[in-house]
Structure 1
Amino acid sequence: MINKFVESIERAVAGIADGSTVLVSGFGVAGQPVELLEALAEQGAAELTVVCNNSGTGEDGLARLIKLGRVRKLIASYPSGTGSHVFAEAFAAGRIEYECVPQGTLAERLRAAGAGLGGFFTPTGYGTALADGKETRVIDGRGHVFEAPLHGDFALVKAENADRWGNLTYRKTGRNFGPLMCMAAATAIVQADRSCELGAMDPESVVTPGIFVQRVVVANGRTA
């Protein structure tokens, strides 16, 4: 019997090793898997490369991982924002590397990884420092930059509902990069608000099919 639910948040993040590339969902605090990130901080994995839209808020979740010195490199679109002082301090002190990726490019690099594509050309970033060291090409008279797929060893994603097969739905903006990150990671670990009985979710409403999910933990123990 397929059952991807695990019994605890600690079990969910087990096996994330030093040096892993971890994809973290979230648009600001919307859809951010805070409990999984806190568990990862307790678990102790270090030298991580984290891919996320933002750099964390306050001193919880991703910000806590950065403050603890566990993140070697951040790949993100918006590292600076309200409450993102931990990343700013770490970057200024040279304790963390940063790669800036425009938001649309970030999403498409994740999608390319999940779809098994070899990369793509985009006009975004052409003629700027973001294109340094990358292949460029003029297509239909417009300059383009080649961007490679962005794979993850693990994805930490927040969903609203999950069943034991790993089928997921999301809540509004909380969806953000979650579906793409589940596809792009070798192991997708999901923090769900509720567990659903198999068949309770309308198949037409399922956003992420369970084939892309390996582990699910219900953060607050609710059942729908």
Structure 2
Amino acid sequence: MDKVVASAREAIAGLENGMRVAVGGFGLCGIPQVLIDEVHAAGVEDLEVVSNNCGVDGWGLGVLLDAGRLRRVIASYVGENKEFARQYLQGELEVELTPQGTLAEKLRAAGAGLAGFWTRTGVGTLIAEGGMPWRHDAEGNVTVESPAKETREFTMLDETHEYVLEESLPCDFALVRAAVADRHGNLVFNKSAQNFNPVAAMAGRVCVAEVEQLVEPGEIDPDEVDLPGVYVQRLLVLTEEQAAEKRIEKRTVTESKEA
């Protein structure tokens, strides 16, 4: 039941080239930076990443992107990364943009053992009808487009609407970050750092959590557990320095009126 591992390399043992990896975080909030750096150091490549976004230039998943380690990205928002845009438009990276709520539910559904679900989000758009550009060639021409998805009508409370079928997103590995964990893998996230971390963790066949503080079983109030340990296979306890290093995506300041 003790899921603590001794090193970052041990934490990602079994992560191989070509695997699909779910990564928690939102922007630079709650991202598993130490695990991302270890994936980079281990030389793993050709990865398909499922994450809300792809970090920024030189930080977060941007570290793997800059090194050319990503083959495909399934994400909701990618507007803060110039290298991401360059690779996508020049045919070096395949990108599947997915509505944010749909992406979260696709991950959660995988963790719940569901093959998919029906949603009204995307009906009447390229999400359902197909034709979204997934990959370009070096000249910017679209070479791979999204396929059309199955749609059907459902009637609920005497209202009939069209729905689109979205398949779940099971992943080989999940990399997440938590504020507190006990040795059994029960996790507590710090406020908005909860974001995509729980659903990413649920989707991974092997979930690895880097944690800022480790406590003994029973020290976390059951009502405060954000993710049960049943979804977590390995825990990497961060050093004080690693836990303290958190970057701000966009720093906003106000000029002092006294000046």
Q: Give the structure-2-normalised TM-score.
A: 0.82
CA displacement 1:158-210 (0-9 Å, x = unmatched): 00001111111000110111111222110000010111122111111111111
What residue number does 1:137 align with? 152
C-alpha displacement of 1:221: 5.2
What residue number does 1:120 align with? 117
Contact 1:194 1:221 in 2 (8 A): no
Q: Provide the secondary structure at the position in 2 that maps to 1:4.
A: coil
Residue 192 of structure 2 aligns with an amino acid whose one-letter code is T
**Distance in 1 of aligned mates of 2:202 and 2:55:** 23
* 1:42 paired to 2:41: yes
* 1:209 paired to 2:224: no
Contact 2:54 2:60 in 1 (8 A): no
Q: Provide the secondary structure at the position in 2 that maps to 1:138.
A: strand
Contact 1:110 1:180 in 2 (8 A): yes
CA displacement 1:70-108 (0-9 Å, x = unmatched): 110000000112xx1121111122111000110100011
**Distance in 1 of aligned mates of 2:2 and 2:192:** 27
Contact 1:188 1:215 in 2 (8 A): yes
Contact 2:55 2:61 in 1 (8 A): yes
**Distance in 1 of aligned mates of 2:9 and 2:93:** 26
CA displacement 1:41-73 (0-9 Å, x = unmatched): 111111110000011112123101011111100
Q: Provide the secondary structure at the position in 1 that maps to 2:239.
A: strand
Q: Provide the secondary structure at the position in 2 that maps to 1:18.
A: coil
Q: Provide the secondary structure at the position in 2 that maps to 1:121.
A: strand
Q: Give the structure-1-normalised TM-score.
A: 0.94
What residue number does 1:105 align with? 102
C-alpha displacement of 1:135: 0.1
**Distance in 1 of aligned mates of 2:161 and 2:24:** 32
The correspondence for 1:158, drawn from 162, 170, 177, is: 177
Provide the aligned C-alpha RMSD in A. Answer: 1.5
Residue 40 of structure 2 aligns with an amino acid whose one-letter code is A
**Distance in 2 of aligned mates of 1:20 and 1:94:** 20
**Distance in 1 of aligned mates of 2:216 and 2:199:** 24
Q: Provide the secondary structure at the position in 2 that maps to 1:78.
A: coil
C-alpha displacement of 1:28: 0.6
The farther-off stretch of 109-118 and 70-79 is 109-118
Q: Provide the secondary structure at the position in 1 that maps to 2:3.
A: coil
What residue number does 2:238 align with? 219
**Distance in 1 of aligned mates of 2:60 and 2:11:** 15
Q: Provide the secondary structure at the position in 2 that maps to 1:36.
A: helix
Contact 2:28 2:60 in 1 (8 A): no
Q: Which has the larger radius of gyration?
A: 2
Unaligned stretches of 5+ in structure 2? 131-147, 242-259
**Distance in 1 of aligned mates of 2:36 and 2:15:** 12
Unaligned stretches of 5+ in structure 1? none
* 1:90 paired to 2:87: yes
